[in-house]
Homo-oligomer: A and B are copies of this chain.
Amino acid sequence: MIIVVSPDASQEDVQHILDRIEESGRQAHLSVGTERTIIGVIGPDSPELQDMFETMAHVESVHRVTKPYKLVSREFRVERSIIDVGHGVTVGGAALAVMAGPCSIESEDHIVETAKAVKAAGANILRGGAFKPRSSPYAFRGLGVDALRHLATARTVTGMPVITELMSERDLDAVCQYADIIQVGARNMQNFMLLDEVGRSKRPVMLKRGLSATIEEWLLAAEYIMAQGNPNVILCERGIRTFETAYRNTFDINAIPLVKELSHLPVIADPSHGTGKWGMVKPVAMAAIAAGADGLMIEVHPNPDHALSDGAQSLTYSSFAGMMRSVAGIAAAVERSLPGVETAAAAR
């Protein structure tokens, strides 16, 4: 950490800061410049320490020098993590992971039929919501444990591993009983108790970025999970909140290459939430793979205008299949693969 001292500080004021550094168990390294006096604090950085120094009299600014996360960083682990999610599927390798399915599971038939359709189009992981976060208490909030059972049935029928969102510590056991990957949603990205719990579960976790979370906060949330001993963390960029109202969220394409530079964890792109409009899902999915994402999460519904939630961003079976062919072309261009999907060009 580096402390920049105010120009008005006396020698005594500087000594007071030096004393406080020593008190914190760190060493100080003083450097007197023409414009400012600067103190290097030698020893581990922390946001708390930064906070503390910022309150002190005659401190102009405090700069952290090291990153606040460790286990998720590429300094900690150089090679990329490949997460085994069971049923022969991994996330983070050369083959792209494509998670597809409905926003909410509406019935057993609904999820089984959708599972077959997305598998036929090349998806390799089934998504489906049992517990749904809804901004209104009067909206449909999911079928709960019944939906989990339907999801498991769809897995049996198709052989695909399944992912579903966990919204409460209370439902952890139920979700672990049925799901291969636990999803932590954007609104719970900083539900720290939940992060601790899924960390303790050791089950693969997909952690969505919060609506206004910085990259650093997102990686720190992943650090919570890893700090409990669970290395199986998948990140998911799903759009951030900006001033733009033409789409529900703004997909942050910059996040893909930056996260892959900072962390060894795989990153999935969710263009369904990242745009909120089904007509934009395909081009943004293609963009995300071009930028280096390790896979996609896509909402698919047999009949989007009858969906119980998020219909506006859901693809039909046929538009999903079309998207997959286009994505396959991009995948080939970036030396990734989408097994079993013919590219749009090849299909002609």
Contacts of A36 in B (CB 8 A): 65-66
Contacts of A220 in B (CB 8 A): 135-137
Determine if A307 and B55 form an interchain contact, defined as CB atoms under 8 angstroms apart. yes
Stretch at the interface among A80-88, A92-100, A173-181, A271-279: A271-279
Chain B minimum-CB-distance residue to A225: B137
Copies of this chain, count: 4
Contacts of A34 in B (CB 8 A): 42-43
Stretch at the interface among A152-160, A200-208, A328-336: A328-336
Residue of A69, A192, A274, A345 with highest tally of chain B CB at under 10 A:
A192
A120 at the binding interface (Cβ < 8 Å): no
Contact with B along A305-348 (1 / 0, CB 8 A): 11111111010000000000010011011110000000101000
CA distance A289 to B69 in the complex (A): 33
Determine if B48 and A65 form an interchain contact, defined as CB atoms under 8 angstroms apart. no
Determine if B311 and A138 form an interchain contact, defined as CB atoms under 8 angstroms apart. no
CA distance A193 to B310 in the complex (A): 20
* Distance between A12 CB and nearest chain B CB, rounded to angstroms: 16
Within 8 A of B (CB), among A60-88: 60-61, 63, 65-66, 68-69, 75
CA distance A286 to B256 in the complex (A): 12
Contacts of A345 in B (CB 8 A): 333, 335
Contacts of A302 in B (CB 8 A): none
Contacts of A261 in B (CB 8 A): 279
Known: A304-B55, A312-B54. A257 touches B244 (CB 8 A): no
Determine if B257 and A274 form an interchain contact, defined as CB atoms under 8 angstroms apart. no
A108 at the binding interface (Cβ < 8 Å): no
Contacts of A310 in B (CB 8 A): 51
Determine if B215 and A212 form an interchain contact, defined as CB atoms under 8 angstroms apart. no
* Distance between A227 CB and nearest chain B CB, rounded to angstroms: 4
Determine if A38 and B280 form an interchain contact, defined as CB atoms under 8 angstroms apart. no
Chain B minimum-CB-distance residue to A310: B51
**In the complex, which of the residues B48, B135, B254, B334 contacts A251, with contact meaning CB atoms closer than 8 Å?**
B254
Contacts of A306 in B (CB 8 A): 52
* Distance between A143 CB and nearest chain B CB, rounded to angstroms: 15
Which 10 A-B pairs rank lowest in CB-CB distance, beginning with the nearest? A212-B212, A290-B290, A329-B333, A287-B287, A168-B193, A287-B291, A257-B283, A253-B253, A187-B190, A286-B290
Question: What 18 additional pairs, Cβ within 8 angstroms, besides A33-B40, A326-B334?
Answer: A33-B42, A35-B44, A47-B134, A47-B135, A52-B307, A54-B311, A55-B305, A55-B311, A136-B223, A141-B192, A169-B169, A242-B250, A245-B245, A257-B283, A258-B280, A283-B290, A332-B333, A333-B345
A-side residues, CB < 8 A to B, are: 2, 4, 7, 20, 29, 31, 33-36, 38, 40, 42-48, 51-56, 60-61, 63, 65-66, 68-69, 75, 133-141, 167-170, 187-188, 190-193, 195, 211-212, 214-217, 220-221, 223-224, 227, 240-247, 250-254, 256-258, 261, 274-275, 278-280, 283-284, 286-292, 304-312, 314, 326, 329-330, 332-335, 343, 345
